[in-house]
Amino acid sequence: MKYENQLRYATQIIDTYRGDIPLHTWLKDYFRANKQMGSRDRKQLSTLVYSFYRLGHAAAHQSVKDRLITGLFLCTNQPTEFLAHFNQEYNAAITNPLQEKLPKTDINVTDIFPWKDELSPAIDHKAFCLSFLRQPDLFLRIRPGQETAVRSKLAETGQTEFIPPAAMRLPNGFKVEDHLTPDKEVVIQDLSSQKVAEFLQSQPTPHTFWDACAASGGKSILAHDLYPDMDLTVSDIRESILNNLRTRFAAAGIKKYHAFIADLTQEHPKSLPVAHLVLADVPCTGSGTWGRTPEDLFFFDPRKINNYPITQRKILTNIASRLAPGATLVYCTCSVFKKENEEMVTFLQEAFNLQPERTENLIGYPHRADTLFASRLSKL
């Protein structure tokens, strides 16, 4: 009866949730409204529901019950009484490698992410699909001067995997704030996102930097750590976003900067700053990060593949028109779609005569990390 009830609740969640808010937020509200559930029930339900969405668009013909059980089998590796109750064969094989488990199911892996033709050429479609069946790891970037202290503190917890030059890999669920001070000692930042530093580095040292779509400021902190004496300007579309950024900057010890609100799809170019180094981390589908939010994969409207580039071109037009000769633009997305990536670099070349110096898909799925795109372009 217990496991039937858990399945019933999980099915109810799937039938009710519509993807309009993040799943983790929705589940918190759901559990708050269903206080009769204990912590084990909440954990079991969360695992079931996330496993369901990790299947993406595969096995669409299956019932919700079957997809929940299949998802649990493929996305976890520990036997449970729940799985044994519904499928003893799955439970007996739960610890097997994924490649041995897949033939036991009715899953066509490449159906998980069905937009193969829209991918950037460097993305391996099957490998990318398989990556959705495992949650990406948690990564920290150690800030300058903090490596010895941070690694010592983490070693006390048994976490020792250091990835040069400054990354630590941690298991999901690790309570960073219980051991370290976020933004002061470390920045919670995906491994691929940390690699954007390679695109920001330049000689001679840039004197001015503008993070045009700064969001919460993670890459601005990265740029500051590369060039502490550089004049820093940040902008985004909403004051609430910049308030969050200001809180993070205060924790990071960044005091000298200029922040302003700008809708770069509308802003008149003359009102925007001129900088030696500009970062355009533009709004995008976020498809390279869906391993962390598989509900976004499940509910994705493919029309956005064409819609986001319209917004991106408007933003880049305003930014590129303000670049001075010799300036550098770093364009990046957390997308795997070529229309948001390589085709946008072509647009910058043809419309503004920007010269690409380095363009790369920052492929994270072999490393249980996000997949991003970055291009460094110069104004001739």
Average pLDDT over residues 24-42: 92
**Residue 117 resides in a domain:** no
Residue 27 and residue 4: Cα distance in Å, rounded?
A: 19
Q: Work out the average pLDDT over 223-238.
A: 96
Q: Same domain, yes or no, for 99 and 170?
A: no
The residue out of 127, 161, 188 marking a domain boundary is 188
- Domain assignment present for residue 350? The answer is yes
**Separation of alpha carbons 45 and 16, rounded Å:** 14
Residues 245 and 357 placed together within one structural domain of the fold: yes
Angle at 351 between CA 346 and CA 352, to 5 degrees: 100
**C-alpha 234: how far from chain center:** 21
Instruction: Tell me if 355 is assigned to some domain.
Output: yes
Over 275-295, what HEC string results?
CCEEEEECCCCCHHHCCCCHH
pLDDT tens column, 296-309: 999 999 999 999 99
At residue 324, the pLDDT reads 85
d(CA 168, CA 187): 10
> Does any domain span residue 129?
no
Residue 123 lies in a domain: no
- Structural domain includes residue 133: no
Whether residue 200 sits in one domain with residue 180: no
Domain end position, chosen among 54, 86, 108: 108
C-alpha distances in angstroms, 82 versus 40, 107, 376?
12, 21, 50
Same domain (yes/no): 249, 317: yes
Give dist(CA 286, CA 179) in Å, integer.
Answer: 30
Encoded tokens for 30: 């759901």
Are 297 and 153 within one domain? no
Using pLDDT thresholds of 50, 70 and 90, give the confidence band for residue 165: very high
pTM, entire model: 0.95
Q: What are the tokens at 320?
A: 């590129």
> 186, 143 in Cβ contact below 8 A?
yes
Of the residues 91, 108, 125, which one is the last residue of a structural domain?
Answer: 108
28 within domain boundaries: yes
Q: What is the pLDDT of residues 4-13, one digit of tens each?
A: 999 999 999 9
Whether 211 and 339 map to the same domain: the answer is yes
Residues 170 and 206 in one domain: no
Q: Is the pLDDT of residue 204 over 90?
A: no
Split at pLDDT 50, 70, 90, the class of 380 is confident
In whole angstroms, what is the distance from residue 136 CA to residue 261 CA? 33
Domain count, the chain: 3
Mark whether 46 and 84 lie in a shared domain.
yes
Q: Characterise 368 by phi-psi region: left (phi > 0), alpha (psi -120 to 50), beta (else).
A: left
Residues 263 and 144 in one domain: no
Q: What value does the mean pLDDT of the chain take?
A: 96
Residues 287 and 329 in one domain: yes
Residue 202 structure tokens = 């330049």
Q: What CATH number does residue 374 fall under? A: 3.40.50.150
Same domain, 247 and 345: yes
Residue 325, exposed/middle/buried by CB under 10 A (0-12, 13-18, 19+)?
exposed
Which residue range forms the structural domain that includes residue 340?
Answer: 191-379
Residue 188, Cβ neighbours under 10 Å: how many? 16
What's the mean pLDDT in 345-353? Answer: 97
Nearest to 375 by CA among 343, 329, 334: 329
Give the chain's radius of gyration (CA, Å): 22
CA torsion 285-71-134-215 (nearest 10°) is 30
Is the same domain home to 343 and 217?
Answer: yes
- Is residue 158 scored above 90 in pLDDT? yes
Report if residue 115 sits inside a domain: no
H-run or E-run covering 68: helix 64-75
